[in-house]
Structure 1
């Protein structure tokens, strides 16, 4: 709000400023035609022309012409004294009586004082040349109250050249004509408004950067928090999956046995495998980290969270857990002996088997003696599930106990 109000105020000031001070700051150049001749022989020695002058801010935009005349005395070239005289000026009323005062800048008085003295002595215009060392630089003069006399400024080099010719005895004349209009000069108002504009733009840029950084930080924290929550739910879901310890003679450890799809290593006796809800099994140490990150079967992409009752909603590119695992967790679908002896058609991987076949041959086979790999309320637990508060799932490996009737 503060930045917007500042921008509106700046726009109002900039909109009103050109009409107030822009016109006064506009400058007009002066076209100068300077000629000189030898005063004794009366022959023209030369001339030059160029846009080398600048009208004063309070000068009328009019043409002027005449002989250039210096103030009396070297100490009076700046015309700061009210008693300054121009004895070289032609007499009033004679032919070619128009003359111009050539005055040096400085001396401790204002432009208005110099121009006023020239006007009182009858000059048609006041030509002021700049300080020594400024070259051909000129600047707009302010001379309020000096009257309606034409006043221009010329560069130091041009003024010193004219001064030397006059002191050598030459007659130097100048014709002043209005030149071209130039845009407003840079002044303290312009510097102020440019500075304010730069400050506002810089403040707005920094403010936007801070806002953008804070927003990105907030989104990143939210994503990280939801990812941690999702991993916690995945850890609970992994704890519900069945474990099985392979034994000598199992189909997975035989010559035709498959390999773990994660580590590409064949199964060996006494290795602990985890059975997913899609009946695919993998090494426990291989599949647990995978499920924590991906939460899907590496082979069939089955989502274990959805199967086990955890709903996942994708919103704004982030995953958020909408429902946690219910307190009364449903048992994983029992894998019967017929399913354990069948192979998956899509991947060729063996599905979960029941108890060891050699053990089944020693006992009378019956449906009541079938070994189940899932928990049943009427039978002892076949699998010891690791505690859910174990963050790494690297506790003591549990053994699958065979249940005998």
Structure 2
């Protein structure tokens, strides 16, 4: 009878591992002592001992089966609530030269049944599952790579933020914006005040007229324009300062512009606080 079935096992923490080469042999449970707690007669060459858990330590089982000629040991669990168990040994285990694996209840009973099904020995292949390396790789990525990526993102963000703060308008560009002399307050009514400092305009004051058709005290708005890159597109009207040229007519537009001017006041107050805070 030929069969090809894969069983999940768990290697011991002592003895050689299967990382470099696979191990091929014939699986057999020793009749003299199924627990492997004492030496048994070698049945044939290249045999792999299938023993039950209990009665002695796992290191003792492996040592006894090694001295009995086994090339590997598979230790099975018969408990009903069997779970995966990591086999370890206390003390020095440098004398153990064969690999050993742990089998849960279902895997152990299945292999025991197959080994006793016919008189011919059951050939098995002990092979390391390469997928077991992935959890370790994932852990290394989380521990080492993720913090590095976060540091790079933080660095880029800080650089962009610093660039936004230092890349304001140039002196040449600022000089190209219109300076307009205020005439009389009576002509413009309640709207004749600076939305930045909230002070009324007085006759003869120089106002900076932006391409978005809004005017402010030159002394109030020039410092902001020269230092803040974000002001190139004004938040309250979303108007690009380089899209339009010409004199403003916003002073003469009535109620709709009054509502807009109230919104401008709020935005500028928030921006002024951020300017002094920075």
Q: TM-score range by the shorter chain?
A: 0.3 to 0.5
Q: Which has the larger radius of gyration?
A: 1
Richer in helix (by share): 2
Query: What TM-score do you get using the length of structure 2 for normalisation?
Result: 0.45
Comparing both structures, which one devotes a greater share of its residues to strand? 1
Greater RCO (CA < 8 Å, at least 6 residues apart): 2
Q: TM-score by structure 1 length? A: 0.34
